[in-house]
Amino acid sequence: MLEIYIKNEKEAEELGIQLADKLGPGSVIALTGNLGAGKTTFTKAVAKGLGITDLIVSPTFTIIQEYRSGRLPLYHFDVYRIEDEDELFELGYEEYIYGEGVCVIEWADRIADFLPDHTIHIHIAYGDGENERIFQIDENTSH
């Protein structure tokens, strides 16, 4: 596991853009962290790195939002409100996860059993300072 200490939102954005450069069709990023830790902010940075020009908002009530203006489609999930696996699969989850775009899933720990082996797991924790964050990145495929 890689731990990266981030001092501010600008550094978090740079990390998201760098990660986006390495993503390809079928990439999945599972984001976890407390409320307000920066999951949506990081998703915006990944979207920017993919060249997406749309306004990125958390799909808290829609659960999924699609963005297609970049080099790859971005499928942004917020699964906080998912109650059970049936609800997840009714959304067409597998078509997105195994599709040609990049999936970023906020609150991914709620659906951990349904993430593919190749998922990049990122936990965002608060650091000591107000804007500091610790990004714990695990690309281990044995989850």
Q: Residue 104 — very low, low, confident or very high, per pLDDT cuts 50/70/90?
A: very high
Query: From CA 117, how far away is CA 48, in angstroms rounded?
Result: 25
Q: How many domains does the chain have?
A: 1
Provide the phi-psi class of 33: left if phi over 0, else alpha when psi is between -120 and 50, else beta.
Answer: left
pTM (2 d.p.): 0.93
Q: Residue 143 — very low, low, confident or very high, per pLDDT cuts 50/70/90?
A: very low
Three-state DSSP state, 121: strand
Pick the more confident residue, 130 or 75. Answer: 75
CATH code, domain carrying 48 = 3.40.50.300
Report if residue 65 sits inside a domain.
yes
Query: What is the domain range of residue 106?
Result: 2-138
Three-state DSSP state, 25: coil
Q: Provide the residue count of the chain.
A: 143
Residue % of the chain over a pLDDT of 70: 97
Q: Residue 16 — very low, low, confident or very high, per pLDDT cuts 50/70/90?
A: very high
Report if residue 71 sits inside a domain.
yes
CB atoms within 10 A of CB 62: 13
Query: From CA 126, how far away is CA 116, in angstroms rounded?
Result: 27
